[in-house]
Structure 1
Amino acid sequence: MVQVRLQEEWIQVEAGTTIDACLRKQGREMDFFAAVCDGELLDLRTPLQEGQKVTLIPADSDIARLMQEKTLCFVIIVALRQLYPQLQVRIEHSLDNGIYCEFDHGTLDAPALEHLLMHMRKMIKERKEIHRRYLPKEAAAVHFEQLGMPAKAQNIRHRRSKHCAVDTLEGIDDYFYGHLCVHTGYLPEVYAVQMKNGCWFGFHPDPRPQDKLFAVCDAYERWGKKLSITNVPQLNLKAETEGIDELILMSEAKIERELVELSDQIVSQHPFRRFVLISGPSSAGKTTFSHRLKTHLRVLGHQPHTIAMDDFFFNRSEYPLLEDGTPDFESLDAVDLELLQETIRGLLAGKEMPLPHYNFHTGCREWRGDTLRIDPHDLLIMEGIHGLNPKVIEGFARDEVFRVYVNALTHLNLDPHTRIPTRDYRLIRRMVRDHQFRGYSAQQTLKGWKHVREGEDRYIYPYQEEADFIFNTSMVYEMLILKKTAVELLEAIAPDEETYVEAQRLLSLLQYFDSADSAHIPSHSILAEFVGNSVFF
């Protein structure tokens, strides 16, 4: 017998007992998806050893959510292979808490999709085991080359570890860059819907199409295909053969082209729409974007004036509180909407209005005597995370306001079966910027990220489709630049820190990217907001 601490309770089990066997005995098998011991994330098949202190990962955690998504992808791949082997699935991007897929060499009509869905549900009901074995890195790479998965093979050769996990479901092998559920029964009821040129899969019925967001994601995916850069190995190859400078020039030219398109749209609706609202989640690049948009509007003969929604926050002592007692910085209730609307209306009416300034060091709103008056034909721009919330412009006519949603929506996948979450891109951006300009450690950024994300889910994402224009600030080359600093920051997090597991997950993602020098990033680039040398700061 060996003694281990499972959660907060010391128990005795027979030597070699796995974590899932122990949970089954306790009747808690489906309550937990994985475990952590000494900072390492373990799957539930891991045998328990004397003296281990094991913390269990609950079903409602972010780790469990990612495991479910990867497992769902595996079930889709296997079910397609069994029913429609001529189709090759590509996991394109997330959409309404599910995943959007397209297919090479054919499509699925409604009856075929229903047949596939029934087969997937049967696999889930039967709790099919997902086996895992470990191969030497080169052997695993050769194996996936032979299976016709060259992108996986190239990524495996980028791994730091000498070995690689190969997962098997129903005799079919794949590689998913992290842990999967130990069997398909960990998935809830799955749904599938025909959508656009492919299908949506998820754990709730009736997904919202989100046409505007989809169109932007689809446009960037098509652009990536034209460049032959749809996944990380292709990006690494392009940087090696054509050079990072060519990637920088192409990405920056695309941003510039879309700024021209946006500024033309805004001006075409002037003077009826003089108020431009810019919104988006953390580290989307809103600040640099707003400066560059102003420049383009000035080129077209207009004089834009900018105010920041952040300056209309109440004093920090007046913020609503989160469950843990900390101020809710993301809440709309932290904003003095009455003062904000009064100021906007006064400015649009040509009045000289006093402007507040929010001091983030003291957490207090200050009045420094700053005022602003704009001419009747000038444009007013306001930037803030709540810009698309209808309450912000309550009382304004729809055609008075031009609303812009800004986000970093990467089209890059690790390989055709594995997407890179957009939030990971923004988190890495924020981590580098927090270090460069605020002196924060990666530990501090990661600890605060949970509240940031929860705020985005409540106050930003529900209003994405309200935008008149969605602007994508993602640049194909950026992770090659951010990698060096991000890796140094993440490697400084010790195994006993609460964010260590998340740090290791991000390090695992970054290992597949090559590194590049930031010397030639233009000073007006959105990326310069995060790595430094920005002309706007």
Structure 2
Amino acid sequence: MKESVLKDCTITFKNGEVIKFPHGTPFYKISKAYKSKSQIVGALVNNKIVSLHERIEDDCTIEFLDINSKTGNKIYLAGLKMIFEYAFKRLFPKATVRYLYSLPRGMVAEIDYEKYLTKTDVAEINKVMSKIVSDNHVIEKLIVANNDGIDYYDKQLKNKVKADNIRNITDPTIVLYRLDDIVNYYYSEMPYSTEVLSKFEIHYLGKNNFVLSWPTETDNGVTKEYVGYDAVIESYKNGKAWLDTMNIPYINDVNREITKGKINNFIKSCELNFNLEINETAKEIAKRGNIKCVMIAGPTSSGKTTVTKRLANYFAIYGLDPIVISLDDYFHERKDNPKDENGEYDFECLQAIDLELLTNEMVKLFNGKQISVPKFNFVTGSKEISGKKIQLKENSIVLFEGLHALNDEALPMISDLIKYKIYVSPYIPLCLDQHNYISLNDLRLIRRIVRDFRTRGYTVNETIKYWTKVRNGEEKHIIPYIHQANKIINTSLPYEVGVLKVFVEPLLYSVPSDSKYYSESRKLLSFLKQFFAINSEYIPNDSILREFIGGAIDD
């Protein structure tokens, strides 16, 4: 018998505590011995994401994951999906659950059933979910051969989409999870048992559509009150309807177009569809006649710059004089920029903008005077003379672009009567399968990794390190204003992950195993396995995707 089987293993926890456990001890049991203020859902073992089902094999460092970490939150969501599906199978055996897309602090699910459910039905669903949590069912981890997984979905469940996804992975084994008689996978590790899944709320939208919400990693374990995001939902529905018309609802359908040599046609269709939406938005605003200011906001890597330029071009077609002003150009000098609670510069807050200067200049502009617009140099951290001078004409329309453009405190002198607010974000309606959609935040992170490397020379580690701060800033300063938008512009292109894959994979593989961001890079690599690569030569030089991969017409 090997010595390693008999010896104790030394575990070093994140807090510096060191404890020995017998070889083969499940991480679930170890987690119970660890004093944590919140429920543990998974672990990072030597920077690798593992489920609590696995067992310790050697000395290691462990960081336990809860709902307040990005990875832990994804594990929590995967568990919620399973108990939601479980509740429906118990109450409505003939119902089919589909998870369509994410919302801020939520996820939209659609139920295919013979009749519309009632509020009484929803209450029963909630009750069954709560009971399975309190009963603490174990979620069993199954490692099966790839071919067995294909046969299970193809022949037993008649689910060709999931079967094809497993075929495309090509790994020798796949991981499934079982909760009683429910077997599924969610491209994530799962909690060991259901007892940790107590924090959720169900919101019924009617017509068998639901929003399932839970605490995000920035909510400190508290499920925030659901705010209706009707415009976001409408944007997703429109995108999904278009993909259904194209007969491309899932990623394996995009892969099919690649293998048939037809991907260039699909790319052209996606680009045309995107341009049509921008055109229709510009036309609607121009027809109103009273709009003098268009406020364009969105999170990082959403494509605000391209949307703003494209809108300006269309406004010119409709006889308007477009003037673009980036709020970023009015940032405080770096030395005057506010700092966060950790003493680090906070570039996400509203106060990072020199509001006094911005207000004074805009008052002059709207009083008919000419102003000089600065250009902020993010390398030196200071405003520079750009030589750009602007003055309003009778047909002028001003496009304000920036993180805080929807926040009325940024430009309080501008009346709501002459404003039109636009929120942009890549709400990609393409799904991996019926139970797994493409994460909005993962897509944006991939976009940002590619752009940061190209334009700033940042490593993956540097981008991911800053990403948490960016996301926290969005939760505070952007998401609360989404519902004010007159229009949501979806900046995703259904084909784009296949293109981004070519650029981002080498960068992700470069992350060393001892990096604290190794697990995040491997998770993204695992996600990218589903997508066939697409050559960027097919991408037009005016595509919004060029904002990230380079080669834009105005680069």
Settle same-fold status: TM greater than 0.5: yes
CA offset at residue 456 of structure 1? Answer: 1.1
CA offset at residue 69 of structure 1? Answer: 0.8
1:415 — aligned with what?
Answer: 433
CA distance in 2: counterparts of 1:400 and 1:342, whole angstroms? 19
1:171 — aligned with what?
Answer: 181
Deviations 1:48-94 (A, max 9, x none): 23422222224411111111111111111122122211111111122
Residue 24 of structure 2 corresponds to residue 5 of structure 1: no
Q: In the alignment, is the contact (CA less than 8 A) between 1:406 and 1:473 conserved in 2?
A: yes
Change (3 A) 1:533 1:205: closer
Q: In the alignment, is the contact (CA less than 8 A) between 1:267 and 1:297 conserved in 2?
A: yes
Residue 159 of structure 2 corresponds to residue 140 of structure 1: no
From 228, 233, 236, the counterpart of 1:214: 233
Change (3 A) 1:213 1:3: same
2:59 — aligned with what?
Answer: 51
CA offset at residue 441 of structure 1? Answer: 1.9
From 494, 500, 511, the counterpart of 2:518: 500
CA offset at residue 223 of structure 1? Answer: 1.6
Range with bigger deviation, 361-370 or 326-335:
361-370
Which amino acid in 1 is paired with 2:90?
A: Q
CA offset at residue 196 of structure 1? Answer: 4.2
CA offset at residue 474 of structure 1? Answer: 0.6
CA distance in 1: counterparts of 2:206 and 2:86, whole angstroms? 23
From 238, 255, 258, the counterpart of 2:274: 255
Residue 207 of structure 2 corresponds to residue 199 of structure 1: no
2:381 — aligned with what?
Answer: 363
Q: In the alignment, is the contact (CA less than 8 A) between 2:330 and 2:357 conserved in 1?
A: yes
1:39 — aligned with what?
Answer: 47
CA offset at residue 160 of structure 1? Answer: 4.9
Range with bigger deviation, 475-484 or 106-115:
106-115
Range with bigger deviation, 130-139 or 200-209:
200-209
1:239 — aligned with what?
Answer: 258
Aligned length: 536
CA distance in 2: counterparts of 1:135 and 1:266, whole angstroms? 55
Range with bigger deviation, 411-420 or 123-132:
411-420
Deviations 1:249-286 (A, max 9, x none): 1111111111121111111123x221122111111111
Q: In the alignment, is the contact (CA less than 8 A) between 1:4 and 1:51 conserved in 2?
A: yes
| 1:519 aligned counterpart, secondary structure | helix
CA distance in 2: counterparts of 1:535 and 1:497, whole angstroms? 37
From 96, 107, 112, the counterpart of 1:99: 107
> Structure 1: which 5+ runs fail to align?
none
Range with bigger deviation, 517-526 or 336-345:
336-345
Quote the sequence identity (%).
28
Change (3 A) 1:346 1:228: same
Change (3 A) 1:511 1:376: same
Q: How does 1:112-511 map to 2 (within 5 A)?
A: 112-145=121-154, 146-197=156-207, 198-203=209-214, 204=223, 207-241=226-260, 243-270=262-289, 272-367=290-385, 370-511=388-529
Q: In the alignment, is the contact (CA less than 8 A) between 2:251 and 2:531 conserved in 1?
A: yes
CA offset at residue 29 of structure 1? Answer: 9.2
CA distance in 2: counterparts of 1:39 and 1:3, whole angstroms? 17
| 1:219 aligned counterpart, secondary structure | helix
Which amino acid in 1 is paired with 2:258?
A: A
CA distance in 2: counterparts of 1:298 and 1:205, whole angstroms? 42
Which amino acid in 2 is paired with 1:156?
A: I
> Structure 2: which 5+ runs fail to align?
1-6, 215-222
| 1:496 aligned counterpart, secondary structure | coil
Q: How does 1:68-107 map to 2 (within 5 A)?
A: 68-106=76-114, 107=116
CA offset at residue 28 of structure 1? Answer: 4.4
Q: In the alignment, is the contact (CA less than 8 A) between 2:377 and 2:383 conserved in 1?
A: yes
CA distance in 1: counterparts of 2:387 and 2:123, whole angstroms? 65
RMSD, aligned α-carbons:
1.8
CA distance in 1: counterparts of 2:67 and 2:107, whole angstroms? 19
Range with bigger deviation, 107-116 or 499-508:
107-116
CA distance in 1: counterparts of 2:508 and 2:35, whole angstroms? 37
CA distance in 1: counterparts of 2:341 and 2:225, whole angstroms? 31
Range with bigger deviation, 299-308 or 102-111:
102-111
| 2:30 aligned counterpart, secondary structure | helix
CA offset at residue 469 of structure 1? Answer: 1.5
CA distance in 2: counterparts of 1:33 and 1:395, whole angstroms? 48
| 1:524 aligned counterpart, secondary structure | coil
Change (3 A) 1:369 1:527: closer
CA offset at residue 351 of structure 1? Answer: 0.7
Range with bigger deviation, 434-443 or 281-290:
434-443
Residue 77 of structure 2 corresponds to residue 66 of structure 1: no
Q: In the alignment, is the contact (CA less than 8 A) between 2:337 and 2:346 conserved in 1?
A: yes
Deviations 1:322-380 (A, max 9, x none): 23322111111110112112222322232111222211111012335543222132111
Q: In the alignment, is the contact (CA less than 8 A) between 1:347 and 1:353 conserved in 2?
A: yes
CA distance in 2: counterparts of 1:25 and 1:499, whole angstroms? 26
Which amino acid in 2 is paired with 1:225?
A: D
Change (3 A) 1:96 1:443: closer
Q: In the alignment, is the contact (CA less than 8 A) between 1:348 and 1:380 conserved in 2?
A: no
Change (3 A) 1:205 1:438: closer
Q: In the alignment, is the contact (CA less than 8 A) between 1:212 and 1:470 conserved in 2?
A: yes
| 1:392 aligned counterpart, secondary structure | coil
CA distance in 2: counterparts of 1:460 and 1:369, whole angstroms? 31
| 2:536 aligned counterpart, secondary structure | coil
| 1:367 aligned counterpart, secondary structure | strand
Q: In the alignment, is the contact (CA less than 8 A) between 1:280 and 1:406 conserved in 2?
A: yes
| 1:393 aligned counterpart, secondary structure | coil
Q: In the alignment, is the contact (CA less than 8 A) between 1:290 and 1:383 conserved in 2?
A: yes
Change (3 A) 1:293 1:170: same
